[in-house]
Structure 1
Amino acid sequence: MQESIAARADSALTRLAPTMALTADQAALKDEVLTFCRAHRADDHALFIIEGDAGTGKSLLLNTVFTAIQTAARGHDGTDPLHGSRNWLLVNHPEMIKLYRNIAEGRKCLRKKDFERPTTFINQMDTATRRADIVLVDEAHLLLTRRDPYNRFRHDNQLREIIRHAHVVVIVFDARQVLRFKSLWSDASLARLVAGYPVVTRRLDQQFRMHANADVMDWVRAFRDGVLRPLPAPQAFDFRIFDDARTMYEAIRQRNARYGLCRMLATYDYPYTLNGQDHFITEGRFHLRWDRAMPQARLPWAERPDTIDEVGSVYTIQGFDLNYAGIILGPSVTYDPATDRIVIDPARYEDRAAFAGRDGVGEPAAVMARIILNSINVIMTRGVRGLYIYASNPALHARLATLWAQRQGK
Structure 2
Amino acid sequence: MLENTATTKLAPETKLSAQQQELKKRVLAFCEQHLIQQQTGLFVIQGAAGTGKSVVLSALMATLQRGRNDATSPFYQTNNYLLVNHPEMLKTYKQIAADQPYLRKKDFMKPTPFINQMAKQATTADIVLVDEAHLLLTKSDRYNRFNQENQLAEICKHSRVVILVFDTHQVLKMKSYWDQAKLAALIEAQPHEIFHLTQQFRVHANRATQQWLTALGTQGQLLPRPTDADFDLRIFADANFMYQQLCQRDHEYGLSRLVATADFPYKLDGNTYYVTAPGFKLPWDKNMDPNVTWAERPETLDEVGSIYTIQGFDLNYVAVILGPSVTYDAATQRLKLLPNNYQDHEAFKRRSDLTTQQSTQVKQQIILNSINVLLQRGRYGLYLYATDPQLRAKLLSL
Asked if residue 270 in structure 1 is aligned to residue 280 in structure 2, the reply is no
Does residue 14 in structure 1 map to residue 8 in structure 2? yes
Unaligned regions of 5+ residues in structure 1, if any? 1-5, 404-410
Post-superposition offset of 1:168: 0.3
Matched, 1:369 2:364: yes
Cα distance change of structure 1 residues 230 and 381 upon mapping to structure 2, 3 Å threshold: same
Letter in 1 for 2:283: R
For the residues of structure 2 that align with 1:56 and 1:341, how far apart are their CA atoms?
A: 26
Q: Secondary structure at the match of 1:127?
A: helix
1:251 corresponds in structure 2 to 245
**Counterpart code for 1:87:** N
2:61 to 58, 66, 82: 66
Mean Cα displacement is larger for which, 250-259 or 352-361? Answer: 352-361
How big is the shift at 1:188? 3.7
Cα distance in 1 for partners of 2:207, 2:223 equals 13
- The amino acid across from 1:229 in the alignment is L
1:304 aligns with 2:297: yes
The residue number in structure 2 matching 1:116 is: 109
Question: Could you say which residue in structure 2 is the equivalent of 1:88?
Answer: 81
Q: Which residue of 2 aligns with 1:397?
A: 392
TM-score normalised by length of structure 2: 0.97
Provide the rounded CA distance (Å) in 2 between the counterparts of 1:394 and 1:109: 54
CA–CA distance in structure 1, aligned partners of residues 262 and 41 of structure 2: 38
SS in 1 for 2:281: strand
Q: Which residue of 2 aligns with 1:408?
A: none
2-structure distance, mates of 1:82, 1:339: 54
SS at match of 2:397: helix
- Is 1:215 aligned with 2:208? yes
Matched, 1:352 2:383: no
The range that moved more, 221-230 or 60-69, is 221-230
The separation in 2 between residues aligned to 1:99 and 1:114, in whole angstroms, is 13
Could you list the runs of 5+ residues in structure 2 that have no partner in the other structure? none
Using the aligned pairs only, state the percent identity: 50
TM-superposed deviation, 1:260: 0.9
How many Å separate the matches in 1 of 2:173 and 2:385?
25
8 Å contact from structure 1 (residues 175, 186) kept in 2:
no
Deviations 1:110-138 (A, max 9, x none): 01101000000000001114210000000
Asked if 2 retains the 8 angstrom alpha-carbon contact of 1:274 and 1:293, the reply is no
CA offsets 1:186-208 (integer angstroms, 9 cap, x no match): 54432111222000000000000
| TM-score w.r.t. length of structure 1 | 0.94
Check the 8 A contact 2:205/2:228 in 1, yes or no.
Answer: no
Who is 2:49 aligned against? 54
* Residues 175, 187 of structure 1: 8 Å contact kept: no
After superposition, residues 151-162 of structure 1 pair within 5 angstroms as 151-162=144-155
Select between 89-98 and 357-366 the one with higher mean Cα deviation: 357-366
CA distance in 2, matches of 1:260, 1:121: 36
Equivalent pair of 2:97/2:103 in contact (CA under 8 Å) = yes
Please report the RMSD computed on the Cα atoms of aligned residues, expressed in angstroms: 1.2
Contact 2:32-2:75 at 8 Å conserved across structures: yes
Aligned partners of 1:168, 1:309: CA distance in 2, in Å? Answer: 43
Task: Give the secondary-structure state (helix, strand or coil) at the position aligned to 1:327.
Answer: strand
Separation in 2 of the partners of 1:21 and 1:352?
40
Shift of 1:35: 1.0
Displacement of 1:293 after TM fit? 3.6
Equivalent pair of 2:206/2:228 in contact (CA under 8 Å) = no
